């Protein structure tokens, strides 16, 4: 059996899938994020989760692709503001444990690769955004992912939209992420007179017509649209793909986001098409495998 393993390490859970010739064999969701602060211990915990998800105890994957939150450099997680650990040598550790090719990349990069489905899409300029514990961003430049000279992915979630705003976990005040993450929508709901409940419950309240919830999502949408407009003016993408846990509440925030996006685009900027992929549950895990397998060029500019 020749199969690939794809891993999605988020701020609150780990998802792992096994694929054979592009077809899913196994999919595990909601696995625990390692809470150790030691990088080797975290890498060992992730390796243990992968072993639990293999088709059989003696199965050996042909390759392992990992999409992870945080800043990644040459297969090493340098920092992850939404988890308790930094400096995780994940590529080297997994390669030593499983004896196969391993690629670790930023989760937003993996997400964007996972949702671009055909050759026509990969000829475009596109942006990817993941809305959840944090806010991930990725840029596709027609034939490859945008990367920095240092080998890390651009951290668009940490651009400043409000220098007097609340700081995110990075300590940067008023960042795009701090305005559009899970704690942001909870903060907006509290400010509107609501209580401390989950985003899912705030979405349900909005569906039931509660004004505080509707106001909170409207404010969230305005912040998101302003950030999307900034990206549109810099990269001129034809498409923007949006995923992550908060994307499920898009009916409540996208009207305001569209309005702000159009307002923040220059007259010379074409307003991009916004796409919420119908099935993005496996996008990050599958995208990391696509990157490793070379389904796209697999190079960063």
Q: Are residues 29 and 134 in the same domain?
A: no
pLDDT for 127 equals 96
Whether 25 is covered by a domain: the verdict is yes
Q: Are residues 46 and 91 in the same domain?
A: yes
Query: Average pLDDT, stretch 221-239?
Result: 97
- Tell me if 180 sits within 8 A of 225, measured CB to CB: no
Helices (H), strands (E): how many in the chain? 10, 11
Q: How confident is the model at residue 295 (pLDDT cuts 50, 70, 90)?
A: very low
Q: Are residues 48 and 135 in the same domain?
A: no
Q: Are residues 147 and 84 in the same domain?
A: no
Q: Are residues 178 and 79 in the same domain?
A: no
Whether 298 is covered by a domain: the verdict is no
pLDDT for 121 equals 67
Does 281 or 273 have the greater pLDDT score? 273
For residue 265, pLDDT over 90 is answered with yes
Whether 99 is covered by a domain: the verdict is yes
pLDDT digits (tens, 9 = 90+) for 25-71: 899 999 999 999 999 999 999 999 999 999 998 899 999 999 998 88
- Say how many domains are in the chain: 2
For residue 119, pLDDT over 70 is answered with no
Does 90 or 167 have the greater pLDDT score? 90
For residue 132, pLDDT over 80 is answered with yes
For residue 294, pLDDT over 80 is answered with no
Q: Are residues 207 and 259 in the same domain?
A: yes
| Structure token digits, residue 47 | 């390796």
CATH of the domain at 202: 3.30.420.40
Domain holding 213, by residue range, is 122-275
b/e for 147-184, b at 16 or more Cβ within 10 A? beeeebbbbbbbbebeeebeebbbebebbbbbbbbbeb
Q: Are residues 137 and 233 in the same domain?
A: yes
Q: Are residues 75 and 153 in the same domain?
A: no
């Amino acid at each position: 059996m020749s199969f690939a393993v794809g891993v999605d390490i988020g701020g609150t859970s780990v998802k792992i899938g096994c694929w054979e010739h592009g077809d899913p064999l196994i999919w595990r969701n909601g696995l625990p994020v390692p809470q150790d602060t030691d990088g080797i211990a975290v890498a060992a915990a992730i390796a243990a989760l992968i072993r639990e998800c293999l088709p059989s105890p003696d199965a050996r994957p042909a390759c392992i692709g990992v999409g992870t939150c945080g800043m990644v450099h040459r297969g090493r997680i340098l920092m992850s503001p939404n988890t308790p650990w930094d400096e995780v040598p994940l590529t080297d550790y997994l390669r030593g444990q499983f004896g196969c090719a391993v690629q670790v990349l930023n989760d937003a990069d993996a997400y964007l690769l996972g949702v671009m489905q055909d050759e026509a899409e990969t000829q475009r300029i596109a942006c990817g955004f993941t809305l959840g514990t944090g806010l991930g961003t990725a840029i596709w430049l027609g034939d490859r992912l945008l990367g920095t000279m240092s080998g890390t992915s651009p951290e668009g979630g940490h651009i400043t939209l409000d220098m007097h705003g609340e700081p995110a976990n990075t300590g940067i005040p008023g960042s795009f992420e701090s305005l559009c993450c899970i704690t942001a929508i909870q903060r907006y709901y509290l400010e509107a007179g609501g209580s401390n409940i989950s985003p899912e419950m705030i979405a349900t309240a909005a569906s039931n017509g509660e004004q505080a919830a509707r106001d909170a999502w409207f404010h969230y949408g305005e912040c998101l649209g302003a950030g999307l407009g900034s990206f549109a003016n810099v990269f001129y993408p034809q498409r923007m793909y949006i995923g992550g846990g908060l994307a499920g509440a898009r009916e409540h925030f996208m009207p305001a986001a569209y309005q702000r996006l159009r307002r923040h685009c220059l007259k010379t900027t074409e307003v991009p098409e916004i796409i919420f992929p119908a099935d993005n549950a496996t996008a990050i895990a599958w995208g990391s495998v696509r990157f490793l397998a070379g389904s796209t060029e697999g190079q960063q500019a």
